[in-house]
């Protein structure tokens, strides 16, 4: 789904799509969605046959149409497809998708937010879409559809009469955000924070900040920049935003923050926080059912953006109480097996030094059962360049500060952390997650709380899946969203 609320049904008619792309439509058809993956095509989708060095979507057009696609955007006649098939023929399908995205944005009346940042951008995007969706029809980018493919696809899916749109923009090289933000043309641009991520491709953190600041180049006239007031690069980002004509709104703990944290405290189970804040002079108090100071700051960014978009801030704050974490970004599971019960925190989607430290803080707030331990299973943090070993070794500080009892490590660089830990905290080390999965599954015991985290390329989800497979309670569908009471 890419919309919250009641949808209107039709996104693109054959005539509209042909006009948007300059292509030629064959047949009379109407599409209720847009897809670039034949494996996930839904009935009514317009399937776009993208081509690249190692793939060609034209080979899957027949499958997409057989699976219920309303039509397919192609650059040539696909094999196995009849001459009367519903098609939209364009010169280049990637350009066609971009044109469709631009047209989707151009016809929209929604207030638009774009979200980027070194960490937390998907979480903030999802949370912002959630609270806005309680106030009006909201279109948003699915998952981490934040690159040169995902952004135009998400814009092509933008519901014409939506009240709000929320789009995530990602990058790992300078210059990548500029075409994306100019396509999205946001009214509000959010930068969650600047942290050491993708250092392999940048000379310094300042260069990362300047690359993230490209998001301001697409702001609509009168646009608003929502920035982390606590971050060391706030000044650089604020100056760049103002140079682009934006009004700056800062969020955080800083005394000068426009959306400022007054107080927060963890609940008794370590499963969430109670937050008091001011949103540009208005006091709000709310419960956040997700633990960790990073989620408290995320919630401030959400409220700042919602306010900048003209939404009801008090209602948005209240609705945060029903928020759930995005997939593999802090999901909690209760695992029961043969008289044993332990808690699993699945934060395996990705990792960076700041994100791992935040996750270890969440683990530190967890309440193990009798004789239980706080266990971290950590995979390599990728794309850190020459700084990688030092940044991995530096995780000893949050490990100690949060009372982590045992650490299992995966990957060549994470071995540096293993060697830096005292022997009593060393679990085991393996080169890959597949080798680690049975080791952790065999080591866990009743009362433990187990955090699994690592960069996407390390595939720490294999460890998560091995731990889930231990469950024999038949409750697997209900394991997600442990929000109240003891985990076991």
Question: Residue 488: inside a domain, yes or no?
Answer: no
pLDDT at 338 over 90: no
253: which 2 tokens? 């703990």
Domain containing residue 92: CATH number: 3.40.1390.10
What's the distance, CA 106 to chain centroid?
25
Question: Residue 365: inside a domain, yes or no?
Answer: yes
- Tell whether 407 and 313 lie within a shared domain: no
Question: What pLDDT band is residue 208 in, cutting at 50, 70 and 90?
Answer: very high
Domain containing residue 368: CATH number: 3.90.190.20
pLDDT single digits (tens) 296-326? 999 999 999 999 999 999 999 999 999 998 8
- Tell whether 91 and 162 lie within a shared domain: no
Q: Which of 40, 73, 96 is the last residue of a domain?
A: 96
Q: What is the pLDDT of residue 472?
A: 86
Cβ–Cβ contacts within 10 Å for residue 371, how many?
9
Q: Which of 107, 125, 104 is nearest to 115 (CA)?
A: 125
- Tell whether 29 and 132 lie within a shared domain: no
What does 74-89 look like in DSSP terms, one character per residue?
ESSPPTT--TTS-EEE
Return the minimum-mean-pLDDT range out of 49-53, 116-120, 164-168: 49-53
Strands 282-288 and 331-337: unpaired
Question: What pLDDT band is residue 479 in, cutting at 50, 70 and 90?
Answer: very low
Question: What's the structural domain count of the chain?
Answer: 3
Q: Which of 276, 291, 322 is the last residue of a domain?
A: 322
Q: Which of 47, 71, 96 is the last residue of a domain?
A: 96
Question: If you average pLDDT over residues 72-76, what whole number do you get?
Answer: 97
Whole-number Å distance between alpha carbons of 166 and 143: 12
pLDDT at 292 over 60: yes
- Tell whether 302 and 366 lie within a shared domain: no
Question: Residue 214: inside a domain, yes or no?
Answer: yes
Whole-number Å distance between alpha carbons of 204 and 192: 18
- The pTM score is 0.91
- Tell whether 338 and 470 lie within a shared domain: yes
Q: What is the pLDDT of residue 200?
A: 83
Question: Residue 101: inside a domain, yes or no?
Answer: no
Whole-number Å distance between alpha carbons of 415 and 405: 17
- Tell whether 185 and 318 lie within a shared domain: yes
Residue 267 in 3-state DSSP?
coil
Cβ–Cβ contacts within 10 Å for residue 321, how many?
12
What does 376-393 look like in DSSP terms, one character per residue?
EEEE---S-GGGHHHHHH
pLDDT at 414 over 60: yes
pLDDT at 144 over 50: yes
What is the Cα gyration radius of the chain?
23
Q: Angle at CA 385, nearest 5°, toward 356 and 115?
A: 55
Cβ pair 376, 404 in contact under 8 A: yes
pLDDT at 476 over 50: no
- Tell whether 312 and 419 lie within a shared domain: no
Domain carrying residue 311:
108-322
Question: Residue 483: inside a domain, yes or no?
Answer: no
Question: Residue 486: inside a domain, yes or no?
Answer: no
Q: What is the pLDDT of residue 337?
A: 87
- Tell whether 457 and 337 lie within a shared domain: yes
Whole-number Å distance between alpha carbons of 456 and 478: 25
- Tell whether 246 and 305 lie within a shared domain: yes
For the chain, the average pLDDT equals: 93
Q: What is the pLDDT of residue 237?
A: 98
Question: What pLDDT band is residue 231 in, cutting at 50, 70 and 90?
Answer: very high
């Amino acid at each position: 789904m890419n919309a919250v609320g009641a949808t209107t049904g039709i996104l693109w008619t054959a005539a509209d799509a042909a006009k948007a792309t300059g292509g030629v439509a064959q047949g009379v058809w109407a599409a209720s969605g847009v897809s670039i993956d034949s494996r996930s095509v839904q009935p009514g989708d317009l399937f776009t046959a993208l081509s690249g060095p190692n793939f060609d979507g034209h080979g899957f057009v027949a499958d997409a149409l057989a699976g219920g696609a309303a039509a397919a955007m192609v650059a040539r006649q696909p094999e196995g497809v009849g001459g009367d098939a519903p098609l939209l023929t364009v010169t280049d399908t990637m350009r066609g998708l971009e044109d469709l995205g631009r047209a989707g944005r151009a016809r929209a009346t929604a207030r638009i937010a774009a979200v980027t940042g070194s960490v937390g951008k998907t979480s903030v995007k999802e949370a912002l879409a959630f609270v806005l969706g309680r106030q009006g029809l909201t279109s948003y980018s699915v998952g981490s559809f934040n690159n040169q493919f995902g952004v135009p696809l998400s814009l092509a899916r933008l519901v014409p009469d939506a009240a709000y749109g929320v789009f995530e923009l990602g990058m790992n090289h300078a210059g990548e955000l500029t075409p994306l933000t100019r396509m999205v043309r946001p009214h509000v641009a959010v930068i969650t924070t600047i942290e050491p991520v993708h250092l392999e491709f940048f000379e310094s953190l300042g260069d990362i900040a300047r690359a993230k600041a490209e998001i301001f180049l697409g702001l609509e006239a009168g646009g608003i920049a929502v920035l982390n007031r606590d971050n060391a690069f706030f000044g650089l980002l604020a100056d760049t935003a103002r140079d682009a004509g934006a009004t700056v709104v800062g969020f955080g703990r800083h005394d000068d923050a426009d959306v400022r944290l007054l107080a927060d405290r963890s609940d008794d189970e370590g499963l969430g926080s109670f937050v008091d804040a001011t949103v540009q002079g208005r006091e709000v108090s709310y419960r956040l059912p997700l633990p960790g100071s990073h989620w408290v700051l995320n919630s401030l960014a959400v409220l700042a953006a919602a306010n900048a978009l003209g939404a009801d801030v008090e209602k948005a704050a209240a609705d945060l109480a029903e928020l759930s974490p995005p997939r593999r970004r802090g999901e909690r599971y209760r695992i029961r097996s043969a008289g044993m019960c332990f808690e699993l925190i699945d934060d395996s989607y990705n990792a960076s030094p700041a994100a791992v430290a935040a996750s270890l803080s969440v683990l530190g707030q967890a309440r193990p059962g009798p004789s239980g331990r706080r266990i971290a299973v950590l995979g390599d943090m990728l794309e850190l360049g020459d700084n990688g070993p030092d940044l991995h070794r530096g995780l000893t500080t949050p490990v100690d500060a949060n009372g982590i009892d045992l650490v299992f490590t995966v990957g060549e660089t994470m071995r540096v952390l293993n060697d830096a830990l005292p022997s009593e905290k060393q679990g085991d080390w393996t080169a890959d997650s597949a080798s680690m999965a049975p080791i952790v599954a065999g080591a866990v015991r009743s009362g433990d709380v187990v955090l699994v985290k690592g960069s996407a390329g390390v595939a720490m989800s294999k460890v998560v899946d091995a731990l889930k497979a231990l469950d024999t309670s038949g409750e697997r569908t209900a394991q997600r969203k442990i929000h109240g009471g003891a985990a076991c």
